[in-house]
Structure 1
């Protein structure tokens, strides 16, 4: 499959070019430490979060900031998971890179969120997108809890800039393309607990012209070398899964994720020979988590995935992962 310990479904080896097989990886760099605080200060609710792990840098062994923000009443300033995402409705996965079909993007932002009523919350944020963008991304989320806390659902939107600063050689001249277009996305997800032991979750996104917020997607765009217009990538992403609490100490998750790119637009036509871009990605996983005592969890997981490029080449991913975790 992919060259690395964690999920890289979009980059797994293509058939007849397999380089990564029969490999063993292990790491402790996913260890993370965090601090959460909240207190009333002079009549205001003040809080914050700081969380780091050791997956930073090219060698993946330096400290990386995951979350770092302060809150003041309904306002948040700092870095945390994008408002366009809903990690609370994604199926559990042992793999640290997270499953196909969802996002975990953490980015600097300014966010305002408030309760519309006891079961409904609303959030709107300005977030950092791609480095070349001249304006922040605008994200919103509407979340509704129902069935007396057994279920939750959320609807989200995204507006972001897609901007190119590429250079091209044309008639022995070096030309610069400084074009931009509007990228956007919509998403909806839900989770429902049918019984004390069984719950299911689903999340769906449709995105055009962005590659930051969801995992394992194609480039946000490619550039037409004749007129420098941006050809925006457009795709659908979905995850669906179920978790069953077998015993008080053992639970299991079975899930599926997929990405389906538009294969009839200008982006797909220009990316036909680019094997780094994918027409479809699909992935299924099954895991078992065992907690002999509450702070300790042992996990075992099998992942199978496939990718298909726009010109029909295919690649397969087969991985088994194991984990030992101590929460304190």
Structure 2
């Protein structure tokens, strides 16, 4: 089989790419090594001070102490390198450790009602309207993925990199949806609080997004991976603060700006996110605002309840609100759909071999028939999207997961038309490293 040039390029990028910051060994381990070094050096200084004249014996003694110091320094260096990424290995003649990971995944999807175009997985935004005919069945392994992480120690912390891809690339220009080709998901570097590259938008609340077997998941939450420059300032006793410039696309005058605050508690976590973003169509630009709230609450020792709320002025490609209607151009005026999203999720771990999850996502437009936006967009724009998921994962052996999920939903347009979704998703995947 002929090697895939893009895959080889991604592997090379991960091996030689921009480093990122991460934690290595614990502070207590390093402190113990530092104290041991200080004690050894102090004893060596005392030996030298007690010998007024040079002789072979003191030289041999000093040499022995120097060897002990070198050994401790080597232990300290190894602790930094080998502790960077669990499951990693060190590259030959290098202080860089690397971890290769991924999953081989197969999904069987059976629609009991009409199948939305453009995607194998759930796409309630385009669910067929009216009486739905029986849907199709599909089998795919396109969501299998491959990734690698690297970590390199420095005197001021570690540089890390991450490169990850799957095989779920978008359609061709002629809308032939073959997919089955490599797609970049993450490619970034981070050091000393700075992140540069492509990863989840800072507006995305990944920690409070419920797990689903379905690859796309419910609408109602931000879900974009964006090119960005992000700075994180963490004050453990107060909160974690993040600021990012994202998505400088062609024609946009200034990048999108996201500010975020996360706070952890014994009972869970909360966050608030603010967004200023720009949309651009055919030379016309307009800025919109966004607000996001998220929380996760522990229920006992096995369950977590998650909730998110988003309010966004216009969006494109579901970067900041999955399910929102696109901006439209009305003459020389760019009009945005103000939408709000709600997401609830519950996850429970029944045992080390079984976990279950349920979720509900809703997106509602704040526009109405007769509004300038609806007149331009069309009466079959989405007034409301609703989608629910109920599923579980079973782990028969290590690194193998079998998932099953029933999901359904309804699309309601501005003119009152409806389209219903009901499907079964079965999944088998093998995770390595």
- Shared fold per TM-score greater than 0.5: yes
Pairing partner for 1:22 from 135, 138, 146: 135
Matched, 1:33 2:146: yes
Q: Which stretch shows the higher mean deviation, 180-189 or 39-48?
A: 39-48
Query: Equivalent residue of 1:293, what SS?
Result: coil
Shift of 1:118: 4.6
Q: Which residue of 2 aligns with 1:224?
A: 330
Shift of 1:121: 1.0
Q: Decide whether the 8 Å contact of 2:337 with 2:367 is kept in 1.
A: no
Q: Which residue of 2 aligns with 1:171?
A: none
How far apart, CA to CA, are the structure 2 residues paired with 1:156 and 1:2? 32
How far apart, CA to CA, are the structure 1 residues paired with 2:345 and 2:157? 40
What pairs with 1:129-144 in structure 2 (closer than 5 Å)?
131-144=250-263
Q: Which residue of 2 aligns with 1:2?
A: 116
Q: Which residue of 2 aligns with 1:201?
A: 306
Shift of 1:130: 5.1
How far apart, CA to CA, are the structure 2 residues paired with 1:79 and 1:233? 26
Query: Equivalent residue of 1:327, what SS?
Result: strand
What pairs with 1:138-177 in structure 2 (closer than 5 Å)?
138-147=257-266, 150-165=267-282
Query: Equivalent residue of 1:270, what SS?
Result: helix
Q: Which residue of 1 aligns with 2:97?
A: none
TM-score (norm 2): 0.68
Q: Decide whether the 8 Å contact of 1:244 with 1:253 is kept in 2.
A: yes
How far apart, CA to CA, are the structure 1 residues paired with 2:389 and 2:147? 28
Q: Which stretch shows the higher mean deviation, 57-66 or 26-35?
A: 57-66
Instruction: For structure 2, list consecutive stretches of 5 or more residues without a partner in the other structure.
Output: 1-114, 172-177
Computing the radius of gyration over CA atoms, which structure comes out larger, 1 or 2?
Answer: 2
Q: Which stretch shows the higher mean deviation, 29-38 or 252-261?
A: 29-38
How far apart, CA to CA, are the structure 1 residues paired with 2:253 and 2:328? 18
Q: Which residue of 1 aligns with 2:162?
A: 49
How far apart, CA to CA, are the structure 2 residues paired with 1:44 and 1:22? 53
- Whichever structure has more helix as a proportion of its residues is 2
Pairing partner for 1:89 from 205, 208, 228: 208
How far apart, CA to CA, are the structure 2 residues paired with 1:266 and 1:48? 46
Pairing partner for 1:242 from 323, 337, 346: 346
Instruction: For structure 1, list consecutive stretches of 5 or more residues without a partner in the other structure.
Output: 166-177
How far apart, CA to CA, are the structure 2 residues paired with 1:130 and 1:154? 27
Q: What per-residue deviation string (whole Å, max 9, x for no partner) do you get for residues 74-94 of structure 1?
A: 101110000011111011111
Shift of 1:119: 6.0
How far apart, CA to CA, are the structure 2 residues paired with 1:260 and 1:130? 27
How far apart, CA to CA, are the structure 1 residues paired with 2:126 and 2:238? 41
Q: Decide whether the 8 Å contact of 2:410 with 2:419 is kept in 1.
A: yes
**How has the CA–CA distance of structure 1 residues 131 and 96 changed in structure 2, closer, same or farther, with 3 Å as cutoff?**
farther
Q: Decide whether the 8 Å contact of 2:289 with 2:312 is kept in 1.
A: yes
- Count of residues paired in the alignment: 307
How far apart, CA to CA, are the structure 2 residues paired with 1:163 and 1:104? 20
**How has the CA–CA distance of structure 1 residues 292 and 128 changed in structure 2, closer, same or farther, with 3 Å as cutoff?**
same
Q: What per-residue deviation string (whole Å, max 9, x for no partner) do you get for residues 122-180 of structure 1?
A: 11111115544222111121111101xx4011111111112231xxxxxxxxxxxx332
Shift of 1:304: 0.5
Matched, 1:109 2:109: no
Query: Equivalent residue of 2:301, what SS?
Result: coil
Q: Decide whether the 8 Å contact of 1:184 with 1:210 is kept in 2.
A: no
Shift of 1:285: 0.9
Q: Decide whether the 8 Å contact of 1:143 with 1:152 is kept in 2.
A: yes
Matched, 1:120 2:233: no
Matched, 1:267 2:382: no
Q: Which residue of 2 aligns with 1:172?
A: none
Shift of 1:194: 1.2
Q: Which stretch shows the higher mean deviation, 1-10 or 193-202?
A: 1-10
Large movers: runs of 4+ above 4 Å? none
Q: Decide whether the 8 Å contact of 1:71 with 1:77 is kept in 2.
A: yes
